[in-house]
Amino acid sequence: MQEWIDLLMVLVAVTNLAILGVSRLRTCIRLSAIQGALLGCLPLMVGPLESWGPILLALVTIAMKGWTLPWLLERSLVEAHVQREVQPFVGYNASILIGVIAIAASFWLNSRLPLPFTPAGTLMIPSAFFGVLTGLFILVARRIALNQVIGYLVLENGIYAFGLVLMPHQTLLVELGILLDLFVGVFVMGIAIFQINREFDHIDADRMTGLRDWSDE
Amino acid sequence: MIAALVLIPILAAIACLLIRDSRRLGAILIATATIHLILTGLCWAFEPGGLWQGWLALDEAGKLFLTIVSVLFAGSALYLQEYFRREADSPHESESVFIACLLFFLATMTLVTVSRHFSLLWVAIEATTLASAPLIYFHRSPGSLEATWKYLLICSVGIALALLGTFLLAAAGTAAPTPVELSVADLTIHARELDPAWLKAAFLFLLVGYGTKMGLAPMHSWLPDAHSEAPSAVSALLSGALLNCAFLGIFRTLQVCTAAGIDKFAGDILIAFGLISMGFAAIFLLRQVDYKRMLAYSSVEHMGILTLGIGLGGLGSFAGLLHAVNHSLTKAALFLLAGNIIFAYRSKSIESVSGLFGRIPATAILWAAGFFAIVGSPPFGTFVSELTILRAALQQGHGWIAATYLGLLSLALIGMAGAVLKMLYGPSSSQGPLPENRLSLITPLIFAVLVLALGLMIPSGLSRTLASAAALIGGTAP
């Protein structure tokens, strides 16, 4: 089972790298959906299958991260009229390079912090750290609100993967990670309702009148 | 009792969503605030029992912060009665949604103070963000939209990192021979069995995560925007109550670190964050053009002061907690007064406000008193707590920390003094004094008197609570 878990974690890391290098928002959303679905399979491999807990967790995760959130994101993508991020703070090639450095950093962190127990997969912790670093990087390196939300999703997925490492030892902890999805939902709603396309200095007064209409309803 | 403290505001919030009559909304708000205050008072008289196998319980630190939350909420509720009448003609969110969110906010903050389990604490702090975001967006202006978005995004990244910190704490717990629950009690008992490296990592992530919410520099960037754009009563609650709730998250972590014997490591980092926050705030206070932003940066400064206090440990822990009380009361009063000034001058810029004494004299007198209190001059309570932190630094032989601390305090004083003097004196417009509403003055007056009283004498009950709360993180009473 360990090889399968590690293979899955490699795939997750690959989606992270791909998200770093892609400018088309729709592709980014699809990639985050794939990542969510991959992570959704993980509880089935890690957790003891005698109980219903891991199966339920897997179903909820796939439903949330693999389907609901990407669907919401795509919908607001249509409403916000943006296709791709043209001028990110850090370019796409540089982003991939930084991603590679982040992988190295994650392995270094992993070697510095040996776990008191043997995790289900040796690549779980480095991959989780990599997700966290990637997410944080996207949050600061991209301008478009939608891309920042994807960054947050990636960050969250990293934290979720870390929580899965602990699943056999702590009950009810990973499930908390699902609550973070609430924020993503709120962000997406924010984008959809307020049409936050760019940084704030670009929100112009025209759009804000639309806002008032909404509040009058 | 604990269940009632949390559930009553939630029920009241639901009632607000169903009722749309604005007069009755005000009554619900006041009634809930009063009940909450009475229940909190009862907690001082009788020890409330724990719930859910001790996940929910009120210890001395929780009781202290619960009281701050409850007192500030009651004061703000009183102030808001007048506020809605004033703002009736400007565009804003529906009152029933606003008051419902306010009550949810109260419930979540109460939950933070009674959480004795790291998972629950995290959920509660996350919930405070969700409940308070609509409050910042009350005025529906592009500015408040920007502030709300920033608040949500930055604080939820903080919350995400805090969750990672909680996971790391659980990882540290796996080193113990028997399974360790993530409750404060269990972790402190088994603290020595936790893996120190993972515990240190957990402390860092929890500090950065909750520190974002608390407004520690350099993660404070949401704070000035949110505080300046929110309605004044909300700013008062954000600054006086919410920041303290986030601080409680750090306090709980420190509790575990102290029990595990890595308080030196944790203390040094806290001292660094404290001084950096004070430094950032001092720089931005020196050249501030907006008086609500000025108050917001002053909050960053004071969060720095209390972080420094508990970082020093010993006497500093006691003084830091006392400072939390003093700061909350003073800052809430100042934000509410700022609301009065905005109403009279229709501007948040320091430039366009002058001659407060001639225009709104009662507000001006309280504003001046609040200024003296916030910069820590005697005989106010802030003076006592700031001086005690200085004494703690000197006692432990941290000469340079004491010197930096004093230097930064005076920089902040200079920055704020220029702005406040300009607002108080200066040419007043020829129209003469404006009528001032008593409801908008009573809360700031009460808070100012309380801070003054704390400067003259700390009641023995409060002193005992402060001492036993400080003892949780290895502090000593003077």
ipTM of predicted complex: 0.86
Q: Is residue B186 part of a domain?
A: no
* Confidence class for position B91, pLDDT limits 50, 70, 90: low
Q: What is the mean pLDDT of chain B?
A: 89
B179–chain A Cβ distance below 8 A for any pair: yes
CB A134 within 8 A of CB A154: yes
Q: What is the Cα–Cα distance from B124 to B2, expressed in whole angstroms?
A: 14
Q: Scanning the structure block, which residue is given the tokens 């592009």?
A: B142
Q: Mutating which of A170, A191, A216 best tests the B interface, going by the most B Cβ atoms within 10 A?
A: A170
Give the residues across from B475 on adjacent strands: B314
Structure tokens at A213: 């209409």
Q: Residue A67 in 3-state DSSP?
A: helix
Provide the residue range defining the domain that includes B369: 264-478
Nearest to B270 by CA among B287, B252, B250, B285: B250
The predicted structure's pLDDT at residue B90: 67
| Coil, helix or strand at residue A65 | helix
Sign of the CA dihedral B306, B308, B312, B315? negative
Q: Check pLDDT > 90 for residue A53.
A: no
Computed on alpha carbons and rounded to an integer, the radius of gyration of chain B in Å comes to: 21
B183 bridge partner residues? B117
Test A170 with B170 for CB contact under 8 angstroms: yes
- The 10 Å Cβ neighbour count of residue B11 is 13
Confidence of residue B348 (pLDDT cuts 50, 70, 90): confident
Q: Which residues contact A16 (CB under 8 A, 6 or more apart)?
A: A35, A99, A130, A131, A134, A154
pLDDT for A115 beyond 80: yes
B369 or A208, which is more confident?
Answer: B369
Q: How far is CA A210 from the centre of its chain?
A: 30
B52-56, B90-94, B304-308: segment of lowest average pLDDT: B90-94
Contact indicator for B79, B38 with CB cutoff of 8 Å:
no
Residue B410 within any structural domain of the chain: yes
What span, in angstroms and rounded, lies between the C-alpha atoms of B312 and B375?
21
Instruction: Report how far residue B309's alpha carbon sits from residue A186's, in angstroms, rounded to the nearest whole number.
Output: 36
Higher per-residue pLDDT: A131 or A43: A131
Q: What is the mean pLDDT of residues B226-238?
A: 91
Least Cα separation, residue B164 to chain A (angstroms): 6
Name the residue among A166, A212, A215 with its Cβ closest to that of B171.
A166
Interface of B with A in 192-231 (CB under 8 A): 195, 197-198, 201
User: Closest-CA residue in chain B for A152?
Assistant: B157
Report for A162-166, B181-185, B386-390: range of highest mean pLDDT? B386-390
Confidence of residue A177 (pLDDT cuts 50, 70, 90): confident
Contact call for B152 and A176, based on CB within 8 A: no
* A21 Cα to chain B: minimum distance (Å): 22
A123: tokens are: 């690549």
The strand pairing partners of B318, in sequence order, are none
Q: Of B115, B126, B168, B174, which to mutate for an interface test with A (greatest number of A Cβ within 10 Å)?
A: B174
Q: How high is the pLDDT of residue A192?
A: 61
**A118 or B103: whose pLDDT is higher?**
B103
Q: Which comes out higher in pLDDT, residue A99 or A50?
A: A99
Residue B409 has pLDDT above 90, yes or no: yes
pLDDT over threshold 50, residue A200: no
Q: B92 or B42, which is more confident?
A: B42
Q: Which residue has the higher pLDDT, A201 or B174?
A: B174
> Is residue B88 over pLDDT 90?
no
Burial label for B457, CB within 10 Å (0-12, 13-18, 19+), is exposed
Q: Closest residue of A to B138, CA-based? A: A215
Phi first, then psi, for residue B475 (nearest 5°) are -90, 165
Predicted local distance difference test score (pLDDT) of residue A201: 41
Which band of pLDDT confidence, cut at 50, 70 and 90, is reported for residue B344?
confident
Instruction: Decide if pLDDT at B70 tops 60.
Output: yes
Q: Give B112 or B313, the one with higher predicted confidence.
A: B112
Average pLDDT over residues A183-205: 58
Rounded Cα gap, residues A8 and A12, in angstroms: 6
List all residues 6 or more positions away from B119 whose beta carbon is below 8 Å from its beta carbon: A172, A173, A176, B166, B182
Q: What percent of chain A has pLDDT over 90?
A: 25
Better-scored residue on pLDDT, B105 or B352: B105
Asked if residue B193 has pLDDT above 80, the reply is: yes
C-alpha to C-alpha distance for A106 and A52, rounded to whole angstroms: 32
Q: How many residues does chain B have?
A: 478
Chain A: nearest CA to B146, how far in angstroms? 6
Domain membership flag for residue B343? yes
Q: What is the pLDDT of residue A217?
A: 28
Tokens found for residue B173: 């717990």
The stretch B228-234 carries a mean pLDDT of 90
Nearest neighbour of A215 by CB, restricted to B140, B166, B175 = B140
- Taking the CA of residue B134 as centre, how many other CA atoms within 13 Å lie in the half-sphere pointing to its CB? 20
pLDDT of residue A204: 37
Is A208 a residue whose pLDDT tops 50? no
Q: What is the 3-state secondary structure (H, E, C) of chain B?
A: CHHHHHHHHHHHHHHHHHCCCHHHHHHHHHHHHHHHHHHHHHHHHCCCCCECCCCECCCHHHHHHHHHHHHHHHHHHHHHHHHHHHHHHCCCCCHHHHHHHHHHHHHHHHHHHHECEHHHHHHHHHHHHHHHHHHHHHHCCHHHHHHHHHHHHHHHHHHHHHHHHHHHHHHHHCCCCCCCCCEHHHHHHCHHHCCHHHHHHHHHHHHHHHHHHHCCCCCCCHHHHHHHHCCHHHHHHHHHHHHHHHHHHHHHHHHHHHHHCCHHHHHHHHHHHHHHHHHHHHHHHHCCCEHHHHHHHHHHHHHHHHHHHHHHCEHHHHHHHHHHHHHHHHHHHHHHHHHHHHHHHCCCEHHHCCCHHHHCHHHHHHHHHHHHHHCCCCCCHHHHHHHHHHHHHHHCCCHHHHHHHHHHHHHHHHHHHHHHHHHHCCCCCCCCCCCCCCHHHHHHHHHHHHHHHHHHCCCHHHHHHHHHHHHHCCECCC
If one counts the domains in chain A, the total is 1
B197 contacts on A by Cβ (under 8 Å): 112-114
pLDDT at B453 > cutoff 50: yes
User: A152 and B153 in contact by Cβ < 8 A?
Assistant: yes
Question: pLDDT tens digit string along A19-42?
Answer: 999 888 889 999 999 999 999 888
| Residues 6 or more apart in contact with residue B386 via CB below 8 angstroms | B305, B319, B323, B376, B409
- Residue type, position B228, single letter: S
B331 pLDDT more than 60: yes
Of A132-146, A191-205, B409-423, where does mean pLDDT reach its minimum? A191-205
User: CB distance A183–B123 less than 8 Å?
Assistant: no
pLDDT at position B57 over 50 = yes
B413 Rama class: left (phi>0) / alpha (psi -120 to 50) / beta: alpha
Whose CA is closest to B164, among A18, A66, A136, A42?
A136
Cβ B90 vs Cβ B138: under 8 Å: no
Look at A46-50, A55-59, B288-292 and tell me which has the smallest mean pLDDT. A46-50
B93 touches chain A (CB under 8 A): yes
Contact at CB, B157 and A177, closer than 8 angstroms = no
- DSSP type of residue A204: -
- d(CA B428, nearest CA chain A) in Å: 34
CB-based contact A36:A64 (threshold 8 Å)? yes
User: Helix, strand, or coil here: A170?
Assistant: coil
Q: Please compute the mean of the pLDDT values over residues B368-397 and round it to a whole number.
A: 92
Check: CB of residue B299 under 8 Å from CB of residue B235. no
Joined tokens for residue A181: 């999805």
B170:A183 CB<8 A = no
Residue B94 Cα distances to A130, A143, B123, B416, B445, angstroms: 43, 32, 27, 35, 29
Taken in order B131, B135, B141, B145, the sign of the CA dihedral is: negative
pLDDT for B137: 84
On whether any CB of chain A is under 8 Å from the CB of B119, the answer is: yes
With beta carbons under 8 A apart, name residues in chain B contacting A155.
Answer: 157, 160
Q: A133: nearest CA in chain B?
A: B161
Predicted pLDDT of residue B85: 76
**Helix (H/G/I), strand (E/B), else coil: A84:** strand
- Indicate whether A210 pLDDT > 50: no
Judge whether residue A178 has pLDDT over 80.
no
* Confidence grade of residue B388 (pLDDT, cut at 50, 70, 90): very high
pLDDT at A34: 94
Assigned domain for B402 exists: yes
Residue A198 has pLDDT above 80, yes or no: no
- For residues B285 and B298, is the Cβ–Cβ distance under 8 A? yes
Report the pLDDT value the prediction gives residue B393, as an integer from 0 to 100: 93
3-state secondary structure of A24: strand
Question: What's the total number of domains in chain B?
Answer: 1
Cβ count within 10 A of residue B43:
20
The count of other CB atoms within 10 Å of the CB of residue B357 is 18
Domain that holds residue A105: 2-216
pLDDT reported for residue B371: 94
Q: Identify whether B31 is part of a domain.
A: no
Q: How many interface pairs between A and B have CB atoms less than 8 angstroms apart?
A: 106
Confirm or reject contact between B175 and chain A (CB < 8 A): yes
Contact criterion met (CB below 8 Å) for B386 and B376? yes
- Count Cα atoms within 13 angstroms, Cβ side, for B204: 6
CB of B25 closer than 8 Å to CB of B99 = yes
Nearest to A169 among B142, B146, B174 (CB): B174
Percentage with pLDDT > 90 across chain B? 53
- When pLDDT is cut at 50, 70 and 90, the band that residue B474 belongs to is confident
